[in-house]
């Protein structure tokens, strides 16, 4: 009889155990279902064919679509306060963690990006010659003038949070003799079968292990870009659609009227580009002193710089949203710097998963996606 009691208890507790298993199964169901369904099989294509298709697709214009883009960065910035002090919508926040970006794309000059934060949202709405930047946090609507080419230009101003298209273009540009290219036709991104282009640097001193670029199997729209660092199995940087539909989004998305009570400002693109006061001039000056060493994946940029330069603008930005964050990041980076010296001189090295920087005591900044050794080598080649 007590045997039966034991059996009864086993049956009863089997229910919650089964429930836990079911929930765990549901969490892991994505990969399982994908495995059951098998890999999507697309017609085989060589890298060249695929690139041609992609270029052709790009030339004929991207189809109207909408979707959600997830950007994940784990750049391994040392000592970065990942959550504290990082506003959800500030650009510096994109350096760490995961961020969601909603995209509605109606055509070349009709699109809307929304960067949702907790109880806040930043929107960029472009509709023909109308362009608005809406920041709910500050209840401020900014009308951007000269928005004819607003889209592309503005995107360049926000390098981290752009659509996969732009990031992919950049990656395609870099494909050259120093890169091994392979193609697979069994990827699945945002529920759609996709081709995946894998670009592997041939130079061993590059910190980049490989760059994976997923192109939609039907429209050849880039759906995902992943940058893998040599030091980690997970991508150091990833941007890709988590859901996407290739149907024209509702026209409401592209209209914007500043709400009652909101501050309305007008700015030109030039204004937006020169956010840090004097940045424009400084950028010009930097451009003048910029040289590069090496080429391809292991290009090292050399600029004249000093620690003071780095701190200065960051502090001046302090009163602007996001400026505080930039200062925090800068401080954290400088704190983690490691003193190095050699035949070339001495300086400080900052290393992340993807990028190394060397600040020499003689006032040069060397930056590249390479090992610190490569940087010191470049520093020696004056």
Partner 1 sequence: MSTVSGQETVSIGTGAAPLPRARAVGALRAWLRLLGSEVGLTLRRPRNIAMLAVLALVPVLIGVALRTFGGPDETDGGPSVFGQVTGNGLFLTFAALSILVQLLLPVAVAVVAGDSVAGEAGLGTLRYLLAAPAGRTRLLGVKYANAVVFCLAAVAAVALSSLLAGVLLFPAGPITLLSGGTIPLLDGVLRIGVVVLYVTAGMAALAAVALAFSTMTEAAVGAIASTVGLVVVVQVLGVIPQLSVFQPYLLTHWWNGFDGVLRDPMATGEMGQGLLVFAAYIAVFGSIAWARFTGKDITC
Partner 2 sequence: MLTVRERTPSATLPAEDCSIVTRGLTKRFRSGQVAVDALDLAVPRGSVFGFLGPNGSGKTTTIRMLLGLVAPTGGAWELLGTPMPGGTAAVLSRVGALVEGPAFYPYLSGEANLRRYDAADPAADPRTASARIGLALDRVGLAAAARKRYRAYSLGMRQRLAIAAALLGPRELLILDEPTNGLDPQGTREVRGLIKEIAAGGTTVFVSSHLLAEVEQMCSHIAVMRTGRLVAQGPIAGLRAGEAVRIRVETPDLAEAAAVLAASGLAQVRTGDGEVSAELGADAPERICAALVAGGVAVRGLAVQRPSLEDVFVGLTGEGFDVNG
Instruction: Give me the least distance between CB of 7 and partner 2, in Å please.
Output: 12
83's contact among partner 1, partner 2, none, with CB below 5 to 8 A by partner kind, is partner 1
Site residues for partner 1, window 141-160 (CB under 8 A)? 141
Task: Walk across the sheet containing 263-268 and list its strands.
Answer: 179-189, 192-201, 208-216, 222-229, 237-245, 65-74, 96-107, 110-117, 120-127, 130-135, 140-145, 263-268
Nearer to partner 2, 5 or 308 (CB): 5
The partner in contact with residue 264, picked from partner 1, partner 2, none with C-beta cut-offs of 5 to 8 angstroms by kind, is none
Site string for partner 1, 289-318 (x = CB under 8 A): ------------------------------
3-state class (DSSP) for residue 83: coil
Q: Does 87 bind partner 1 (CB under 8 A)?
A: yes
Q: Binding to partner 1 by residue 16, rule CB under 8 A? A: yes
Q: How many residues contact partner 1, by CB under 8 A? A: 50
Instruction: Tell whether residue 31 is a contact of partner 1 (CB under 8 A).
Output: no
* Residue 381 contact among partner 2, partner 1, none, beta carbon within 5 to 8 Å by kind: none
Q: Supply the minimum distance, in Å, between the C-beta of residue 256 and partner 1.
A: 6
Residues 6+ apart with CB under 8 A from 306: 359, 363
**Stretch binding partner 1 (CB under 8 A), from 258-266, 299-307, 329-337, 343-351:** 258-266
Q: Which does 37 bind (CB under 5 to 8 A by kind): partner 2, partner 1, none?
A: none
Is residue 322 close enough to count as binding partner 1 by CB under 8 A? no
Residues forming the site for partner 2 (CB under 8 A): 1-2, 5, 8
Nearest to 174 by CA among 203, 206, 199: 199
Other beta carbons within 10 Å of 213: 28
241 binds, among partner 2, partner 1, none (CB under 5 to 8 A by kind): none
Report if residue 32 touches partner 1, rule: CB under 8 A.
Answer: no
Task: Enumerate the H helices of 236-278 as residue ranges.
Answer: 269-273
| Stretch of 42-50, 114-122, 203-211, 326-334 lying at the interface with partner 1 (CB under 8 A) | 114-122
Of 123 and 216, the one with the shorter C-beta distance to partner 1 is: 123
Q: Is 259 in the site for partner 1 (CB under 8 A)?
A: yes
Give the x/- contact pattern for partner 1 in 54-83, rule: CB under 8 A. Answer: --------------x------------xxx
Q: Which residues are 74's β-sheet partners?
A: 96
Of these, 130, 136, 274, 306, which contacts partner 1 (CB under 8 A)? 136
Distances (CA, A) of 44 to 25, 41, 61, 183, 185: 33, 8, 24, 9, 6
Tokens read off for 52: 């041609």
Pairing between β-strand 291-293 and β-strand 300-304 as defined by DSSP bridges: antiparallel
Give, as one character, the DSSP assignment of residue 93: G
Contact between residue 240 and residue 190 where contact means Cβ atoms under 8 Å apart? yes
Q: How far is the CB of 20 from partner 1 (least distance, A)?
A: 6
CA-to-CA distance for 112 and 131, rounded, in angstroms? 10
Task: Decide if residue 266 touches partner 1 (CB under 8 A).
Answer: no
State how far the Cα of 322 lies from the Cα of 92, in Å rounded to an integer. Answer: 7
| 266 Rama sector, left if φ>0, alpha if ψ -120 to 50, beta otherwise | beta
Q: Render the burial of 144-153: b for 16+ CB within 10 Å, e for the rest.
A: beebeebbee
* Interacting residues toward partner 1 by CB under 8 A: 1, 4-5, 7-9, 12-13, 15-16, 18-20, 22-23, 26, 68, 81-84, 87, 97, 102, 114, 116, 118-121, 123, 132, 134, 136-139, 141, 243, 250, 252-253, 256-262, 319
């Amino acid at each position: 009889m007590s045997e039966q009691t034991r059996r009864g208890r086993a049956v009863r507790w089997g229910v919650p155990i089964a429930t836990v298993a079911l929930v765990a199964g549901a969490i892991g169901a994505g990969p399982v279902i994908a495995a059951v369904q098998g890999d999507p099989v697309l017609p085989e294509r060589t890298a060249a064919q695929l690139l041609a298709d992609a270029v052709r697709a790009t030339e004929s214009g991207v189809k109207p679509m909408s979707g959600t883009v997830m950007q994940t960065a784990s750049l391994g910035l040392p000592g970065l306060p990942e959550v504290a002090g990082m506003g959800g919508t500030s650009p510096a926040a994109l350096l760490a963690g995961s961020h969601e970006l909603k995209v509605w794309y109606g055509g070349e000059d009709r699109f809307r990006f929304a960067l949702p934060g907790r109880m806040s949202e930043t929107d960029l709405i472009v509709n023909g010659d109308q362009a608005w930047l809406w920041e709910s946090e500050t209840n401020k609507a900014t009308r951007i003038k000269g928005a004819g080419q607003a889209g592309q230009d503005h995107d360049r101003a926000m390098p981290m949070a752009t659509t996969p298209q732009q990031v992919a273009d950049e990656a395609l540009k870099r494909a050259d003799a120093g890169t091994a290219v392979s193609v697979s036709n069994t990827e699945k991104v945002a529920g759609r079968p996709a081709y995946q282009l894998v670009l592997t640097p041939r130079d061993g001193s590059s910190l980049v292990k490989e760059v994976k670029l997923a192109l939609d199997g039907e429209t050849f729209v880039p759906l995902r870009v992943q940058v893998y660092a040599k030091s980690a199995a997970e991508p150091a940087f990833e941007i890709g659609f988590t859901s996407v539909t290739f149907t024209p989004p509702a026209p409401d998305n592209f209209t914007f009227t500043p709400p009652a009570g909101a501050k309305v400002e007008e700015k030109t693109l030039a204004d937006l580009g020169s956010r840090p006061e004097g940045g424009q001039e400084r950028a010009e000056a930097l451009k003048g002193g910029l040289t590069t060493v090496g080429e391809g994946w292991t290009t090292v940029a050399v600029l004249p710089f000093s620690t003071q330069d780095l701190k200065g603008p960051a502090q001046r930005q302090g009163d602007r949203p996001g400026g505080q964050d930039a200062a925090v990041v800068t401080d954290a980076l400088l704190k983690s710097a490691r003193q190095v010296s050699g035949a070339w001189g001495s300086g400080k090295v900052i290393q992340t998963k993807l990028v190394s920087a060397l600040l020499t005591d003689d006032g040069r900044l060397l930056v590249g996606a390479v090992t610190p050794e490569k940087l010191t080598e470049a520093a020696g080649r004056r």
